[in-house]
C-alpha cells in the first residue's frame, strides 16, 4: 500500500497522507489504475476546515479495517474541493440528483471512466463498511446494472436545461426581487429563512444598492451582535446553526470574511454608523492578523476544531471569565457577553447584544480575554492561497483602507495583488492556488478570473495604478475567449480545461458570487472605465438569467441583482485628475470613493502627459487609445486646480474642483 498524498500542496490532502487508505490524488493515474484493476473509483471530496470531514476521517479513513475494505474493492481518490471546484461541482450535482441533498465530506462511487453511480455525504463507520462491501459485491456480481445506473446519471445531468437568458433586468424586475426577499425575511432575527442561517453577503449588497435599509440593516446588526461574529478577535464564522445567530459552525473562511468586510464598509457608507465601522475594521484586522501569509497572500480558512473539539478555542464558561478577569469584571463580562451556557457542556459563545455602558471597561475586558485566548491551542489553518478568494479580499481591503483612511489595508491589498501577478499568472493564464509562494498546477476557473479581475479593478480605483487595470483586462479577455457558452452565459471551466463527464455551469450564487455574475460585475466595471462596448455588452448578456431567478429565487441571484442595479444606474463613473502629490487631488479622490453609488468606478490620473499609456487593445478602439483608461481622456485640471468629472456612459457633467461640489454632484 502506498499513500500518494505526501507530496500534495493541499493541506487537506496532507491531513490524509498518513491514512492506511491507499489514496490517489485526482488525476489520470487513478483512472488508469481503476481500469487496470477493473474496480470502481471511490472519490472522497472535502476541505481542511470541514468538521464532518474530520469526523469521517477519524472514524473510517484512520481505521485499518475500514481502509482494508476500501483498498480491496476500490481505487480511492481524495479531492480538495477548494483546489478543484470543477470536480466538486459535477459530483455535487450527481449527489444532489441522487439524494436531494449535498454536503461534505462527499462520497462518490464511480466507474473507471468517472461516471458516478452511487453518491452520499458523511457515513458513520458501521454504515460505511456495509456500503463498501455491498458496492464491491454489486460490481462483481451485477455490473451491468451498476454501469446502466452510471450512464443514466450522466445522461440526466448532461441533458438538464440551463436557465434561459433574457434582457438586463429592469426596475420592475428588481422590485419583484425585493418583494421575493421580503417573503423569506426574518423580521425578528434578521436574515432569510430559518436555521441554519448563512451570511447572505451578495443579497445584502443588492439591498444596500437599492436603498432597502430595513432588511439589510437588521441582518447586518444581528450578525454583528450574535455569536457568529467573533466578539474578541473579529471576523465571522461560516454560519449559524440556529435562526438567532447565536451558535456558529466555527470554521472561519477567507471568502466569507472578505465579502462581509466589503458589505460592512458599504453599510457604513450608507449610514450604518459606528457598528458598521467597528465590525469592518475589526474584520480587516482579523484578516491581516490571522490569515495573512508570509508571501502577502491570505490563507483560505481556519478550522472549526481545536484539540479535536469543535469551537473549543472560542467558547467560555462563567468560571473561566472570573479566572481571567477577577470576580467583578468576570461577572460583568458574563452579563455583557451572554455567557449562560448557550453551547455545550456549560460553555457559551460570546454575543454582544447591546453596546457596553462602560467603553473603557469593555476595552480592558476584551483585551484581557483575547490575550488569554491566545494561550489556548489554536485551530488549524489551511494556508493555501486561492486566487478567487484573494481577489475578494483585495477588493474589500482596498476599499476599506481608503474609506477609513487606513493605508496599511491598501498596502496589504497591493501586496496580495503582487503575489497573484507574480505567482498565479503564467503565460497569461491564471492558476487557482499557491502555497508557500509556490503555484499549484490546477487551472483557474471562472470565479478565479472574475473575482481577481474585480479585486484588481477596485485596487486600481484606490491607487490609480493602471497596471492593475491592464491585468484585469487581460483576465477578462480570457473569460470572453475561453469561458463563453455562446448564449450570453459562461461555463465555469475554460474550453481547454480537463474534460469531466459534465462541463460545469451554474449561474446561481452559493457561498460566493456565481462565476457568471462575478464576471458580469467585473466586465461592467471594466467597460465603464475603458469604454469597451465588448465588455459592457458581455456584462449585460450575462445578467439575462437574473430575470428568471428574481421572482422566486432571488436569494440565489444576489450578486447578479447587485450588478443589474449598477448597470441600470450607469454605473456612475468618476474621473479625478490632478497632481498626485496635491492634497486637493487626494481629497477629491477619497470623496469619490465615499460615494455609495451602485457599481461606482473611479479613474485617477495626473491630468498631464503622465497619463499616456499604450493600452492593451482588447478588441475595442476606445481601449487602444493613447490614454488608459479612456475615462481619463480629455479630462484635465481646471485653472490648474485638481478636478473631478462625474459621468455615465462617458457623458460627463461639468467638472468640479471642491469636495463639497463633488459630494453634491454624486448625490444627484
**Would you place residue 156 in the very low, low, confident or very high pLDDT band (cuts 50, 70, 90)?**
confident
Find the mean pLDDT for residues 452-461.
Answer: 98
Distance CA 87, CA 499 (A): 10
pLDDT number for residue 623: 40
**What is the overall mean pLDDT for the chain?**
93
Contact 379, 304 (CB under 8 A): yes
pLDDT recorded at residue 619: 41
Q: What is the pLDDT of residue 163?
A: 67
Q: Which stretch of 142-151, 405-414, 579-588 has the lowest confidence by average pLDDT? A: 142-151
> CA-CA distance, 48 to 46, in Å (whole number)?
7
Which carries the bigger pLDDT value, residue 427 or residue 350? 350
With bands split at pLDDT 50, 70 and 90, how would you rate the model's confidence at 159? confident
pLDDT interval class at 617 (50, 70, 90): very low
Whether 612 shows a pLDDT value over 60: the answer reads no
pLDDT at 233: 97
Per-residue confidence (pLDDT) for residue 9, from 0 to 100: 85
pLDDT of residue 613: 46
Dihedral class, residue 493 (left if φ above 0, else alpha if ψ from -120 to 50, else beta): beta
Span 76-86, average pLDDT: 96
pLDDT at 610 over 80: no
- Sequence ranges of the domains in the chain: 11-160, 172-305+381-569, 314-374, 573-667
Distance of alpha carbon 113 from the chain centroid: 32
- Check residue 611 and give its pLDDT: 45
Q: Which helix (H) or strand (E) holds 430?
A: strand 429-430
Q: Summarize the confidence of residues 267-292 as an average pLDDT.
A: 97
Residue 625 phi/psi, 5-degree rounding, is -70, 175
pTM above 0.85, yes or no: yes
Residue % of the chain over a pLDDT of 90: 88
pLDDT bucket at 118, cuts 50 / 70 / 90: very high
> Which H helix or E strand runs over 116?
strand 116-120
| pLDDT of res. 608 | 57
Residue 145: its pLDDT value, please?
Answer: 87
The domain 172-305+381-569 having CATH identifier 1.50.10.10: the answer here is: yes
Contacts of 179 (CB under 8 A, 6+ apart): none
pLDDT of residue 1: 56
Of 99-103, 231-235, 616-620, minimum mean pLDDT range = 616-620
- Grid cell in block for residue 92: 455535487
Least confident of 152-161, 249-258, 455-464, 632-641: 152-161
Quickly name the fold that domain 11-160 has.
Answer: Glutaredoxin (3.40.30)
Sort strands 75-80 and 41-46 into parallel, antiparallel or unpaired.
parallel
How many angstroms separate the Cα of 476 from the Cα of each of 160, 436, 482?
28, 27, 10
Q: How far apart are CA 105 and CA 167, in angstroms?
A: 39
For residue 622, the model assigns a pLDDT of: 38
Residue 144 CA to residue 567 CA, distance in Å, equals 53
**Cβ contact 544:479 at 8 Å:** no
Amino acid at each position: 500500500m502506498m499513500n500518494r498524498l505526501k507530496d500534495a500542496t493541499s493541506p487537506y490532502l496532507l491531513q490524509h497522507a498518513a491514512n492506511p487508505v491507499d489514496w490517489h490524488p485526482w488525476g489520470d493515474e487513478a483512472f488508469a489504475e481503476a481500469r487496470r484493476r477493473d474496480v470502481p473509483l471511490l472519490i472522497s471530496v472535502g476541505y481542511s476546515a470541514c468538521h464532518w470531514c474530520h469526523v469521517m476521517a477519524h472514524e473510517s479513513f484512520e481505521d485499518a479495517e475500514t481502509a482494508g475494505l476500501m483498498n480491496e474493492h476500490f481505487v480511492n481518490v481524495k479531492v480538495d474541493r477548494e483546489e478543484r471546484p470543477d470536480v466538486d461541482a459535477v459530483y455535487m450535482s450527481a449527489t444532489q440528483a441522487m439524494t436531494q441533498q449535498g454536503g461534505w465530506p462527499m462520497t462518490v462511487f464511480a466507474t473507471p471512466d468517472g461516471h458516478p453511480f452511487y453518491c452520499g455525504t458523511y457515513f458513520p463507520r458501521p454504515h460505511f463498511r456495509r456500503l463498501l462491501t455491498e458496492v464491491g459485491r454489486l460490481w462483481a456480481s451485477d455490473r451491468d446494472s451498476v454501469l446502466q445506473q452510471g450512464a443514466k446519471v450522466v445522461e440526466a445531468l448532461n441533458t438538464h436545461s440551463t436557465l434561459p437568458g433574457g434582457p438586463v433586468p429592469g426596475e420592475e424586475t428588481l422590485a419583484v426581487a425585493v418583494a421575493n426577499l421580503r417573503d423569506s425575511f426574518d423580521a425578528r432575527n434578521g436574515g432569510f429563512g430559518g436555521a441554519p442561517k448563512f451570511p447572505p453577503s451578495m443579497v445584502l449588497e443588492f439591498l444596500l444598492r437599492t436603498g432597502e435599509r430595513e432588511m439589510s440593516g437588521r441582518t447586518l446588526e444581528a450578525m454583528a451582535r450574535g455569536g457568529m461574529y467573533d466578539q474578541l478577535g473579529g471576523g465571522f464564522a461560516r454560519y449559524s446553526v440556529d435562526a438567532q445567530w447565536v451558535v456558529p459552525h466555527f470554521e472561519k473562511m477567507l471568502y466569507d470574511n472578505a465579502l462581509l468586510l466589503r458589505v460592512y464598509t458599504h453599510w457604513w457608507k450608507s449610514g450604518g454608523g459606528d457598528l458598521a465601522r467597528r465590525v469592518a475594521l475589526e474584520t480587516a484586522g482579523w484578516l491581516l492578523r490571522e490569515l495573512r501569509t508570509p508571501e502577502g497572500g491570505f490563507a483560505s480558512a481556519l478550522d472549526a476544531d481545536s484539540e479535536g473539539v469543535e469551537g473549543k478555542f472560542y467558547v467560555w464558561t462563567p468560571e473561566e471569565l472570573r479566572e481571567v478577569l477577577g470576580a467583578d469584571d468576570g461577572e460583568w463580562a458574563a452579563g455583557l457577553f451572554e455567557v449562560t451556557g448557550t453551547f455545550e457542556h456549560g460553555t457559551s459563545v460570546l454575543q454582544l447584544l447591546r453596546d457596553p455602558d462602560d467603553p473603557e471597561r469593555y476595552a480592558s475586558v476584551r483585551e484581557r480575554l483575547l490575550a488569554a485566548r491566545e494561550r489556548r491551542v489554536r485551530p488549524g489553518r489551511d494556508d493555501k492561497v486561492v486566487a478567487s478568494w484573494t481577489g475578494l479580499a483585495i477588493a474589500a481591503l482596498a476599499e476599506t483602507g481608503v474609506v477609513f483612511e487606513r493605508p496599511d489595508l491598501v498596502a496589504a491589498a497591493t501586496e496580495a495583488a503582487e503575489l497573484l501577478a507574480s505567482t498565479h499568472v503564467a503565460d497569461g493564464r491564471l492558476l487557482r492556488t499557491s502555497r508557500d509562494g509556490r503555484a499549484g498546477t490546477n487551472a483557474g476557473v471562472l470565479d478565479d478570473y472574475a473575482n481577481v479581475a474585480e479585486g484588481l479593478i477596485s485596487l486600481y480605483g484606490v491607487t490609480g495604478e493602471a497596471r492593475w487595470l491592464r491585468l484585469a483586462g487581460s483576465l477578462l479577455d480570457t473569460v470572453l475567449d475561453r469561458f463563453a457558452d455562446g448564449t450570453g452565459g459562461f461555463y465555469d471551466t475554460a474550453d481547454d480545461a480537463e474534460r469531466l463527464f459534465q462541463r460545469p455551469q451554474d449561474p446561481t450564487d452559493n457561498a460566493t458570487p456565481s462565476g457568471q455574475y462575478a464576471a458580469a460585475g467585473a466586465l461592467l466595471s471594466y467597460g465603464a472605465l475603458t469604454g469597451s462596448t465588448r465588455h459592457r455588452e458581455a456584462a449585460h448578456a450575462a445578467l439575462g438569467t437574473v430575470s428568471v431567478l428574481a421572482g422566486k429565487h432571488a436569494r440565489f441571484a444576489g450578486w447578479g441583482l447587485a450588478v443589474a442595479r449598477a448597470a441600470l444606474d450607469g454605473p456612475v463613473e468618476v474621473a479625478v485628475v490632478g497632481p498626485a502629490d496635491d492634497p486637493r487631488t487626494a481629497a477629491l479622490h477619497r470623496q469619490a470613493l465615499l460615494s455609495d453609488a451602485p457599481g461606482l468606478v473611479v479613474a485617477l490620473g495626473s491630468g498631464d502627459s503622465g497619463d499616456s499609456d499604450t493600452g492593451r487593445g482588447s478588441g475595442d478602439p476606445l481601449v487602444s487609445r493613447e490614454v488608459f483608461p479612456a475615462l481619463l481622456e480629455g479630462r484635465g485640471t481646471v485653472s490648474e486646480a485638481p478636478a473631478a468629472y462625474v459621468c455615465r456612459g462617458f457623458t460627463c457633467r461639468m467638472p468640479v474642483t471642491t469636495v463639497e461640489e463633488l459630494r453634491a454632484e454624486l448625490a444627484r
